[in-house]
Amino acid sequence: MITHGNEIKLFAGNSNRPLAEAIARKLNTTLGEIEVGKFSDGETSIHIGETVRGRDLFIIQSTSYPVNDNLMELLIMIDAAKRASAGRVTAVVPYFGYARQDRKARSRDPITAKLVADLLMSAGADRVLTMDLHAAQIQGFFNIPVDNLLGGPTLYNYFANKFNTEKCDEDFIVVSPDIGSVNRARKVAERLNCQMAIIDKRRPRANVMEVMNIIGNVEGKKCLLVDDMIDTAGTIVQGAQALVEKGAKEIYACCTHAVLSGPAIERLKNSPILELVMLDTVHLPEEKRLPNIKILSTADIFAAAIENVYLDKPMSKIYD
């Protein structure tokens, strides 16, 4: 039985064309011909403009804002590919939307991350390639292989070069903005050879954060706040303000997924964060690009991962 074809094909929806094009350049190829639009009534329209029979397809699409439109584009592109007799279809989802709805926080709540996983499998995806899932257990929602790539190495390599952390700068400290990010921050602190602090917070309701206490000494130090995602920026900005009040000298922040919805940009404008470093899993329009925002590319990692999937090679060597 043939598991995949003899030629790689990359296709992309509308969510993050710049990243898709960068991945294609890294692989010395071009994006496949596909029309992704809408009918007059708002329904998603997809047409693949070239043969994909027996080919190994990689469909690149973040399910970021507008989430439902981008998700439908992805599902319909997968369905179109399978109906056109593609050999194997991998959904490359740099940012996996609905990942925060991974459990029942209250009675009668949905588990939407599981629903999205079911939809991707029903559409015909043979594999999913993503980065820094908000909840790692989402991999278990799928009955197909899921490769959850790491954005951390790109981020901590940037700050390692920026602050020369090989010398164990005692004035530099990594800070977790909440308890949920402790493991992520600890890994960064270990790689940067520095100490770690934790912001203990209480969240009275969704997207509202109240800082309670800071575990660790940040006085007179350069602080790096580490999170997987910044949405409305309430957590990161209030955390930065709390660090300033505790005597921190400089505040930096980084994240994999810069959702930056609602009041996020206004909050970041007025925050004490000197530099916010993010990856390009979510396309950031020009009007949201503040002077203190730096975007690092994930094209290298995704290109290497796509090549490894295509050649059936292990993922572990990507970060070497």
CA proximity to 188, closest of 133, 141, 256: 256
d(CA 274, CA 190): 23
Residue 201 annotated among the catalytic residues of the structure: yes
122's CB contacts (< 8 A; 6+ apart) are: none
Sign of the Cα pseudo-torsion (157, 163, 164, 166, in order): negative
Question: How far is 214 from 220, CA to CA, in rounded Å?
Answer: 14
Q: Are 270 and 3 in contact (CB under 8 A)?
A: no
The DSSP annotation for 257-282 comes to EE---TTHHHHHHTS-EEEEEEETTS
- DSSP lists the bridge partners of residue 255 as 227, 278
Residue 31 DSSP one-character state: B
Catalytic hit among 82, 104, 162, 201: 201
Question: 196 near 176, Cβ under 8 Å?
Answer: yes
CA-to-CA distance for 76 and 225, rounded, in angstroms? Answer: 38
Is residue 64 within 8 A of residue 95, CB to CB? The reply is yes
Residue numbers annotated as active site: 201
